[in-house]
Structure 1
Amino acid sequence: MSVGHILYILVPIFFVIILGWLAGHYKSFDASSSKALNALVTKFALPAHLFIGITTTNRKALIEQWPFLLALFIGIVGFFTVLLLLSRFAGKQSVKDAAMFALNSAQPTFAFMGIPVLGAIYGSSAVAIPIALTGIVVNAVLDPAATIIATVANQNSGKERNGHFGRLIWDSILHGLREPLALVPLVGVVLTLFGFHSPDLLNKSFNQIGDITSGAALFAVGVTIGVRNISFSIRAFAIALLKTIVQPLLMLLIAYLCGLSSTDTVKAVLLVSFPGSAVAAMIATRFESLESETASSFVISAVISLVTLPVLISLLM
């Protein structure tokens, strides 16, 4: 792919992100309205878009995606696990800090940049299933796992003493599955496996909200960056570099070992190469762990991705 073509894809995307940043930086949006904008994308627009993308796919094509799901699981959850252990035992961080460090290094902002970036390359309908599978891995596995680990660490340190461990695991998994970004794609996958195909009227109804996904998601990323303060700490830079450089390179190796096609390899690598997730930073804030570092890493990784995304696209395509 030529440099001109890459710029043609990415310039409009980063233009909308910068527009959102200006809105956040100059207080047209504050933290509260930014949260509402994020909710619009993650709880309504994107789930609707993914549901239609999945339920208009034939059953055979969906079943053939299992190697892609395996690669995503290893590249996201496996990466989180390795970083958790390294941070805890080599880095000598507390269990809770290690979990938040690993979570923010492993979770991409796929929900906001997946459709705009991959959709510009392959078409939005062709990337609905890969993004939906990423949502299931992140929301049903990764976030609950990090939440369980941090909660247990709090209990052991005396900050929390309520609840049974088994109940904690069950509640965390259910919470992840109740998130529309996990539940709606999962329902769509199950329906498609049973032979359901979305009718035209349902498509048009869902697309009324789903069609705003790209612009609203990119604008939300910019606003989220604009309302945050940045701390240029070593740990914040480490999280950002792990997220935007190390994880994509490891995913390239994982995709090769899983036997993915060249097209699926590009999709898998790009899905994990996006900046760190604001949701992961919010989880760190909830547990009062690495709050400044994780919020800053989200902003820093977004800036780094201005360079890494064009480079990755030019090398892979």
Structure 2
Amino acid sequence: MLEIICGAIFPIVVSMMLGYLGASMGMFDRDQATAINRMVLKFALPMDLFVGISKIDRTQILHSGSFAAIIIFWMIGSFFITYWISRFVFKRSVSLATLQALAIGNPSVPFVGSAVLGFLFGGKSALAVSLASLTINVILIPVVFFLLSSDNKETMGNGENWVSHLKNALKQPVVLAPLCAFIWVLSGIPIPRLLDISFIMLGKTTGGAAMFAAGILLCLMKPMINKMVITSVFFRNIAAPMVAWGLAIAAHLSPFYLREAVLTFAMPSASVIVILSNQIKKGEREAASTVFFSTVVSIFTMGALIALTS
């Protein structure tokens, strides 16, 4: 079992370490990391999200009941609870509170979920991955861009009111692509195979390129461990899956779906926070450190949760 977890997590760590090595040898600088992240955010990630969501079976989603409710509402709830605490208790800026909320409310299910959950649960894992991907990319990412655009007019748009900020968010490819794919899925019209295979090539570079760029930034800014990084890793890797476990028990989910719900929320923080922090030029070192330590810690926390829920 440990071999499976390591097989899913280690490629992320290795990609990040290669970026770190490249930067330490003087092969890459901050501007090049920014360029890589821009390519991922504007092209690779939107294509990857479009292809992933377009493969969702709408019948599965409509008949998933309590399991779907836990995945969707706890993912949204963990984001907004974290944002409120970070913004109003710790008095962080809108941008930093948003990035921390995304670190906790956005497990890396689209990148790691298929490998880990697919091995453990087979084809049935597609439902958890699809539900999490839909929630993140159709609901949370638009909210994130709305919040960031209101606090970063120079990099995210210069609108003066919430309508302008919403328009700026909806113009982002990473928001527009999954929304279009979701509407397409609901329409019941099959995605043309030519379009599907055309998006796959660049889309598959998303995870590796994002983590490689994160490694470059980690080398240039040096990993940090502070109160916020420790808090984010604790809530992402331990608290979030434990709450999901409690919700699954309260909802009387079967052992199979309980285990799948817990492990869905046990995934490490997604690398999109590194991409966004680099774009707005705020919290980059903290974001890269959070993703790195969350990924390393997940090897042990996911192993423990697999054993505890088996």
TM-score (norm 2): 0.73
- Taking a change above 3 Å as real, the CA distance of residues 93 and 211 of structure 1, as seen in their structure-2 partners, is closer
Counterpart residue number, 1:140: 142
SS state at 1:40 partner: helix
Counterpart residue number, 1:63: 62
Counterpart residue number, 1:302: 295
- Structure 1's unaligned 5+ residue stretches are 155-161
Structure 2: which amino acid aligns with 1:200?
Answer: R
For residues 108 and 254 of structure 2, what CA distance do their matches in structure 1 show? 24
1:200-222 CA deviation, whole Å, 9 max, x = no partner?
33333222333444544554454
Would the aligned equivalents of 1:236 and 1:293 in 2 still touch at CA under 8 Å? Answer: yes
Q: CA deviation at 1:139?
A: 0.6
How many residue pairs end up in the alignment?
Answer: 302
Structure 1: which amino acid aligns with 2:18?
Answer: L
Structure 2: which amino acid aligns with 1:31?
Answer: R
For residues 116 and 304 of structure 1, what CA distance do their matches in structure 2 show? 17
Q: CA deviation at 1:197?
A: 0.7
For residues 88 and 10 of structure 1, what CA distance do their matches in structure 2 show? 31
Which one of 234, 240, 244 corresponds to residue 241 of structure 1?
234
Q: CA deviation at 1:104?
A: 4.2
Q: CA deviation at 1:189?
A: 1.6
Structure 1: which amino acid aligns with 2:169?
Answer: G
Structure 2: which amino acid aligns with 1:138?
Answer: L
SS state at 1:230 partner: coil
- Taking a change above 3 Å as real, the CA distance of residues 285 and 180 of structure 1, as seen in their structure-2 partners, is closer
Matched, 1:93 2:95: no
For residues 290 and 223 of structure 2, what CA distance do their matches in structure 1 show? 8
- Structure 2's unaligned 5+ residue stretches are 153-157
- Taking a change above 3 Å as real, the CA distance of residues 131 and 216 of structure 1, as seen in their structure-2 partners, is farther
For residues 119 and 220 of structure 1, what CA distance do their matches in structure 2 show? 27
Structure 1: which amino acid aligns with 2:131?
Answer: P
1:157-204 CA deviation, whole Å, 9 max, x = no partner?
xxxxx965xx32x23333333333332122112112111112333333
Would the aligned equivalents of 1:103 and 1:146 in 2 still touch at CA under 8 Å? Answer: no
For residues 235 and 221 of structure 2, what CA distance do their matches in structure 1 show? 21
Q: CA RMSD in A?
A: 4.1
For residues 223 and 289 of structure 1, what CA distance do their matches in structure 2 show? 16
